[in-house]
Structure 1
Amino acid sequence: MQLINNKGITAPQGFLASGIHCGLKKNNLKLDLALIYSNVPATAAGIYTKNKVKGAPIYITKDHLSNKKAQAIIINSGNANTCNGEDGLAKAKKMTELQAKALKLKANDVLVASTGVIGIPLNIDAIKNGIPLLTERLSKDGYEDAATAIMTTDTYKKQLAFEFTIDDKKITIGAMAKGSGMIEPNMGTMLSFITTDLNISGEMLQEALKESTKISYNRVSVDGDTSTNDMVLVMANGLANNKKIQEKDSNYYLFLEVLNTLNITLAKMIAKDGEGASKLIECIVYNTKSLKDAEVLSKSVINSPLVKTAIFGSDANWGRILCALGYSGININPNKVDLSFKSSVGIIDVCKGGMGLSFDEVKAKEILLNDEITIYINMNTGQYSSTAWGCDLSYDYVKINGDYRS
């Protein structure tokens, strides 16, 4: 597996992309409409938010993916098209119809996603007027504009691509994602789009995406809020001409390994770019009685406002972590918990057997001043482990979310 620098969703064979400003965002310098297109029909799969309140695009995309096929995805930012009733559903469907007509496709072959402010009617005329230019600008170089057009409060584009080999065939997989706040996937205000030229059945693609999402996006939390519009979509157009993956054989697991690496990398990018964040927090909980225990405990620590503010202040206040473990709902033995902090400048043990150790506060401060912090938590009660990713909680988070609509 090899990382392809400065490449995204157009890295695989047969994929084009574009991004334009159509008028959904007030600032005419900000791109707000994106398109991903496969030159040939593709196998496709999706995973969606678990929030009971869902954006209109999710219902349309799920319906269009019932045959596990797609050829294009249109995405807008600046408006979530959520809580708009039947009008919202009609406009989400209209987006697919308009884009399908421009590409000479069936509407069912186009998927749709939206992100932005909730409860504001979508300006479908702006999208309608923008689609001709959006379609005209499709190109192999369009991945940069597309990745920019899906951003809301993100501070940088999140995209990457990998190459690997199956059956002596070069396989390429690319992706772009957005997410900065309301990130507690299952999933958060998070969109991720994956393209690959792999030849794989719809059933195996859906299974791989489901398994990969569990250990990547669903282990990220910025602020504990689960959004209404999240989705992860993948298209596989088969142009690499490998033998079609139709069962969980060695080739399937090789693909899953690459997919996991790609999605975990994107998940960490999202966590690090949390609204107002200055640090990425990685929490590794290990030696638990079950995988579920490890997952819940690690997320409880990542979600704790007191832990997040302590990390922001570079304060080795390990008691807050023990507290978060204690209210997680998991039956733990606090007298067995060991805890350490680590960053690029070193590692320090601060708690053993649920009790504080005498440690060098100056060294701890140096470790926690880094912009990527790992918290190691040994529960000493079993053999399972899980990793979750989050970020610190800074003054800027309140500023950003206090005037998000203005």
Structure 2
Amino acid sequence: MNSPPPTRRTFLKQAGLVTAASISLTGCTESLPPLGNRVQYGRIDTPPVNTNPTYRQWLPAASTLPSGDINPGYVNYVQPQNLGQQETGIVNKNAHFFQKLYLDSFGLDYESYDSVIGLHRTTKSTYVLQGDITTETVTQTLLDSGYTTAGSYQDYELFDRTDSPRTAAVSPTAIVWAHHEQSTAIVEAVIDAKRGAVPRHHETDDAFASATDAIGAGSWTMIGGLGIDPTRSALIRSMTYMPGDDGIYYIHKQLYPENDVITEQTLRDALEENTRARDSRSVDIQIEGQIATIAMHLPHESLQTDYADATVPIITWGVETDGETLTIQHEAGDSTPAESITVSIQEGSERTEVESQFSDTLDRIQPGDTLTIDAPDTDADRIVGTYSPVDATRSASFVIYELP
């Protein structure tokens, strides 16, 4: 008897693209097997970064935040209008993978924001979206997608929902949004930090202050996430991406403890098996005090990946349950190929794909579309989605619903 042809989900699982790992970006690791070319070293004149980064103004000190699974030293800062499209015509979609999947839809184009700042890395998210905010559009989108009015705080109108707890604060200049059991408290703390009404993280954490003085802010800056740290002892790791007329630049800065001795040779040894370093026109290593900097200069063409044309979606997911089943609904946001979204149940670090998937009955997932699954009868933690662009080698997972 012939076996049925493998589905795309089966292929992705066999290829290692859908994993039972913690919620993170698949394929974001910097160290991969060498491709044959040696790393070329030389001095690099990198484009200037903003040395007074605005993300520090929004990041409250740990003492002002609810206790729990919040990392107050995590930052994911993106300028959506400056990711390479002006210089190369190609957007750095890596930044999209790290942000868009974790946001709800507010009815505005992602590229319309001046900056989008991800804060507090948890299993869920906190974001500040700055720009010229059309509050009428945002308000209507929220009310049409399951949010209800929740009063006001300072100069912001508040909206929340309880199926998977989220709070949005809306003003003409910014949206502050959190997806967390204590989302309202987090949103208010972030607003208070911007007002200067509570201590900010860099004002109470000397290591974070020193590191961010050196890191600044580029077109895309991540702190507490990506880094090149061969000793695994860095207090703070960072990656900054900057597009330029003559290529693109990645700048990694790591802050090490005072008793650590970091040498250029240690970093060179680590870079010998780093794909991006090997593909760079030049790599520049500099060590000043306890901060090590690795800069890489690559051609514009390096942005032309197999997922460069992927439209990473922003979707508001809603969930209803009667105790026996869970119904997941696309409430608002982008349409996406049904094949690109896989729903799983996560328990600890293990994930199990649910039997029914959107792609069983749909070609595309659009607002109003639903998927009903059996409620887990185990000690499962959450329902997660995995986004895998069709014909691409990158995927990322996001929380849909925290199980009670």
Shared fold (TM-score, shorter chain, > 0.5)? no
**Structure whose residues are more often helix by fraction:** 1
Using structure 2 for the length normalisation, give the TM-score. Answer: 0.29
Q: Which has the higher contact order (CA 8 A, sep 6+)?
A: 2
